[in-house]
Amino acid sequence: MSSASPVADVATAPTEGRRSLWSKALYKFTRDRLGMGALAVVLLYGVIAAGAAAGLWGQDWAALSDATWAAASADHWFGTNRIGQDIFARALYSTRTAFEVGFVVAIASTIVGALLGAAAGFFSGSWIDEIVLWLMGVLDSIPFYLFVAAIAYAMKGSPFGMHVAMVATFWTITGRLVRGEVIKLKGQEFVEAARAIGVPRLVIIGRHILPNTFHILLVQATIVFVAAIKSEVILSFLGLGVKDSVSWGLMIAEAANEVQNGHFNNFIWASVFLFGLVMAFNLFSDALQDALDPRQVA
Amino acid sequence: MELLQYALRKLLAGIPLVLGVTFISFLLMVYFGPDQTYELLGKNPTPEQIEQVRKELGYDKPFAARYGDYLREIVTLDFGYSNKTGQRVSDVLARTVPISLALVAPGFVLGNMLGIALALLAAYHRGGWVDKLIMGGAVFGMSISFLIVVIACQIIFCSSYGLDLFPVRGWRMDTLGDYARYVTVPTIATVFVALGYNTRFYRAVIVEEMTRDHVRTAMAYGTPPARLLYRNILKNSLIPIITRIMFSIPLVVISGSLIIESYFGIPGVGKVTFDAITSGDQPVLKAVVGLTAVLFVLTLLVTDILYRAVDPRVTLK
Amino acid sequence: MSGEPLLSVDNLSIEFSTERGVVRAVDNVSFDVRAGETLGIVGESGCGKTVTGLSLLRLIPSPPGRIVSGSIRLRGKDLVALPERDMRAIRGRDISMIFQEPMTALNPVFTVGNQMAEVLRRHKGLSRRQALAGAIDMLHRVGLPDPARRVKEYPHQLSGGMRQRVMIGMALSCGPQILVADEPTTALDVTTQAQVMEQIVALQKEFDMAVILITHDLGVVAESCQRALVMYCGRVVEDAPVKSLFATPHHPYTSGLLRSVARIRPDRVASLPVIPGMVPDLANLPDGCRFRERCDNAVARCAGETPVLDAAPVGEGVVACFNPDNAASGEPLS
């Protein structure tokens, strides 16, 4: 309800406005009990993943034993699978795989989306914009699983075929959002002021525009993280996913052939672990979006 | 006449998209794709035999010539014969596309209709417990992997550990009864998976529309809430709703059914295409990808015409 | 002016729950409207005048808004306690509202005729054809040229002034007793503003209805209203007949508003006097009189006690101030 002078508004918009957005968001997020609870669950998964990566637990996920199809016991908390591997160890180690896939894909597609989206938005209407828009349209028009399969084969079975394919498809959503936001920002006074006093274009993009899209990037990265983990499951089922390791997707794919014969342990525990992480991440992502960009979540 | 001109302009504008999709797909799936040569040859082939097969498959021509051939095939809609089965590609598609359509159509329609209905219900009770329940359910549904849903549905409906009501796998649609028996479980799974995403999307669209000035005007003139929702708000929300539905159509037709088809062993176009990628059956692949791109351009056109029908501010320019 | 008031608002308070806590946008507001009268509600943006206007039709978005106390009586019937269904029958029939933004207040996907006919069909039970004829007749009366063609057009095909005429036509179509006009001319260009205001005044006489004109423009108040309510930070600070308000403003805020109105003086171009300071934050209001921090007349009592409306020292109005301007004695009271 207060009205400060317009001159002051222009001068403070890029830095102070941004800082208050983040401190307000932090305040709002910390008061969101569901969001904080979800974050705690995600962090717990993160600890499990880090421990598996550091060799603290889940290391014997590949070890065979004679006890095949064992029921849950003190030795094997979740029982064993068809070749006697410990399902608990496999589920733990798969957490590491999920975080690896999620982080790589989320970070890479956010960077690609931010750069291409910002370029398209800043030069909207020019040939750069046309090309980026065309590329987005093209990538969105190729059926996802066919695209992944094609990339997996084109990369001759490299373990990162899946990652590349996901990044190539997922960046377009981030790119479109960033493009829209940049077009909006471009028309605002502080950008026009910077341009009027002759700040170079790259500096304007890097210092004044991209930092003001960070809230979109952060939310979008969490959404891509979830999408990547979920896609990994399908891709592993199709034989295009994780190789030479274990993941919830591989466990569920294994289970697909077993459940008809009454072997449910693999299916249940991989599903529970996967669901817990995805649900927590979804709730965390919603709370984050609510705190950072309330227009998007009504 | 104006419409025809518009359609032609729009189709011409779609050419870069078709070129882009076909080029990237061609590069990935055909040029770098699996090599069929040795699968078609017997043991210990002679260099002449190898040469012969490569020539038949077109592997000996330069990249540009092969891509040019591909474009000509799209224009003439003649993709030749499958490398694997020797069947005409058009016959393969004529057999598999209807199966896929019959498989996904009920789930697609139900998923969207239920999604809109739940979204209206949630938006109407915005902030209340009905809204919280529906939106909580949506996040729950969104958090379960499609594959888990499919497997769980199979256990629950098709196995002796559950209700054992429907066939475990396979596909028949000779009679309506057969069709109903085989399509039910895939439909339940599809609806379950799509519902969370749809409800959230539609609710956001509807709630955004609810905050507009003209909705307040309608309220100020005594419009009852139910009429407000379906007359003033739903009609104004149609553009994003149409966009979402229309743009899922090309992908639903081709790849949305892949998981279901693989899991339930249904010989639809998704499964056939996937097998074509992994085995390098290039004629089939080229046909599917090319047709998907053309389908996208047609979708863009139809969507624009639909926009015009629901929003008088949109002009066909 | 005497007799039973048509509309009587008594101790109305409205709160909004926001992220920063509960904000009382309207605080103990009371006023009467008599049949055929034009009442102006004046104040800066955020003073609660629009919320007050919306509350008369119970259109406060809820949540987050809530009428926490008070009553709004239309011919003795309390609208605050009315079931929603009965309230809907009143909206657009007994009390109509026109809004500031003619660009967005009409639904873009329905024709003008369709939207006007909808109101007539609902409140008067007319058939589709009768309602459309009624809409054309109404558009004719609000001075829209070629109404038979206009009813088939969509809002985006009309200019801002034409759209506001459509809005007025829709508001008057059921012959309401009260018209609430929230900044009806603010979004229009200057030449159209005068025409639209004249139209409202002419139609008011023709329909013999009361008009509540919500505006920040004192010029509009001087021309069109008989009585005006000055609001500041959710409270009524002065309520007086327009003549007496302009001749002898009592509340220092009213005086400040009057001084800041531009007068065309060919002999000199002076800078406009402004009210010093800023409007306080509604979530963080000072105790006592909310204007005291910007007030030249402020005395010690203003900080500890909230002034209530009391008979003004001169003229017919009421004022909420411990140390009003233009006091009869010519000296500030203590």
pLDDT of B73 above 80: yes
Q: Which residues of C touch B (CB under 8 A)?
A: 57, 59, 63, 88-93, 96-97, 99, 101, 104-110, 118-119, 122-123, 154, 156, 167, 170
Please state, rounded to an integer, the average pLDDT across all residues of chain A: 82
Please give, rounded to a whole number of angstroms, the shortest distance from the CA of A32 to a CA of chain C. 12
Average pLDDT over residues B262-281: 84
Are C277 and C210 in contact by the 8 Å Cβ rule? The answer is no
| Interface check A3 vs C, CB under 8 A | yes
Residue in chain A nearest C47 by alpha carbon: A1
Q: Do the chains contact at B159 and A259, CB–CB below 8 Å? A: yes
Residues 6+ apart with CB under 8 A from B276: B82, B84, B282, B284, B285, B288
The answer to whether the CB atoms of B214 and C104 lie below 8 A apart is yes
Q: What is the pTM of this model?
A: 0.84
Place of tokens 């649900």: A279
Residue B76 dihedral angles phi and psi, to the nearest 5° = -90, -5
Q: Which H or E element spans position C265?
A: none
C19–A28 C-beta distance less than 8 A? yes
Mode of pairing for the β-strands spanning C210-215 and C178-182 = parallel
pLDDT of C210 reads 92
Interface predicted TM-score (ipTM) of this complex, two decimals: 0.85
In contact, A13 and A207? CB cutoff 8 Å: no
The closest of C177, C168, C231, C171 to C208, measured between CA atoms, is C177
Residue C332's pLDDT is what? 45
More confident residue, A105 or B285: A105
Percent of chain B with pLDDT over 70: 96
What are chain A's partners, defined as 3 or more CB pairs within 8 angstroms?
A: B, C
Of the two residues C128 and B280, the one the predictor is more confident about is C128
Q: Which of A53-67, B1-15, B120-134 is predicted with the least confidence, judged by mean pLDDT?
A: A53-67
Q: How far is A121 from chain C (nearest CA, A)?
A: 28
- Whether A1 has its CB under 8 Å from any CB of chain C: the answer is yes
pLDDT given at position A268: 86
- The angle formed by the CA atoms of residues A205, A211 and A216, to the nearest 5 degrees, is 115
Q: Touching C: which chains, 3+ CB pairs < 8 A?
A: A, B
B28 and A137: CB-CB below 8 Å? no
Least confident of A8-12, A282-286, C159-163: A8-12
Residues of chain C with pLDDT under 70: 1-3, 262-273, 328-334
Would the CB atoms of B273 and A146 count as touching at under 8 Å? Answer: yes
Q: Is B216 on the interface with C (CB under 8 A)?
A: yes
Question: pLDDT tier at A74 (50, 70, 90 boundaries)?
Answer: low
Q: What is the mean pLDDT of residues A182-192?
A: 85
Beta strand extents in C242-325 (DSSP E only): 310-311, 318-319
Radius of gyration of chain B (CA): 24
Which pLDDT value is given to residue B108?
92
Q: Provide the 10 A C-beta neighbour count for residue A4.
A: 9
Nearest alpha carbon to residue B183 among B110, B275, B288, B276: B110
What is each CA distance from A289 to A26, A215, A282, A294, in whole angstroms?
11, 8, 10, 7
Q: Is A243 on the interface with C (CB under 8 A)?
A: no
pLDDT the model gives residue A18 = 66
For B156, phi then psi, to 5°, come to: -70, -45
Q: What's the pLDDT score for residue C270?
A: 56
In tens, the pLDDT along C228-264 reads 999 988 889 889 898 888 888 888 888 888 887 755 5
B102 and B179 in contact (C-beta within 8 Å)?
A: yes
Both tokens assigned to C324: 């009003």
- How far apart, in whole angstroms, are the C-alpha atoms of residue C242 and residue C240? 6
| Inter-chain touch B222–C99, beta carbons under 8 Å | no
A28 to chain C: which residues are within 8 Å by CB? Answer: 19
Highest mean pLDDT among A228-242, B199-213, C191-205 belongs to B199-213
Question: Nearest Cβ partner of C107 from B220, B222, B232?
Answer: B232
pLDDT at residue number A13: 45
A2 touches chain C (CB under 8 A): yes
Least trusted range by pLDDT, from A164-173, A205-214, C89-98, C271-280? C271-280
- Tens-digit pLDDT profile for residues B9-59: 888 888 898 898 888 888 887 777 777 777 777 777 788 888 888 777 777
| pLDDT at site A7 | 34
**CA-based nearest residue in chain C for residue B125:** C63
Q: Is the pLDDT of residue A19 over 70?
A: no
Q: What angle do CA B231, B235, B238 make, to 5 degrees?
A: 155
* Mean pLDDT of the region B201-205: 93
Spell out which residues of chain B touch residue A283, defining contact as CB-CB under 8 Å: 139
- Is the pLDDT reported for residue A8 higher than 50? no
The shortest C-alpha distance from B220 to chain C (Å) reads 6
Residues of C in contact with B224 (CB under 8 A): 88
Residues 50-109 of A with CB under 8 A from C: none
Residues 6 or more apart whose Cβ sits within 8 Å of residue C263: none
Of the given ranges (A205-219, B51-65, B88-102), which has the lowest mean pLDDT? B51-65
Cα nearest neighbour of A232 on chain B: B145
* pLDDT for the residue C95: 93
CB atoms A2 and C19 under 8 Å: no
Helix axes B176-210, B146-158, angle to 10 degrees: 140
Does any CB of chain B come closer than 8 Å to the CB of residue A101?
A: no
What b/e sequence results for C269-295 when a residue is b if at least 16 CB atoms lie within 10 Å of its CB, and e otherwise? eeeeeebeeebbebeeeeebbbbbebb
B72 touches chain C (CB under 8 A): no
Calculate mean pLDDT across residues B85-91.
Answer: 88
- Between positions 22 and 61 of A, the ones with CB within 8 A of B are none
Whether residue B88 has pLDDT greater than 60:
yes
8-state DSSP, C312: -
Out of A57-61, A230-234, B90-94, C278-282, pick the least confident.
Answer: A57-61
Write down the pLDDT at residue C334.
Answer: 39
Among the partner residues A142, A260, A286, nearest to B25 by beta-carbon distance? A142
B147 confidence band (pLDDT: 50, 70, 90): confident
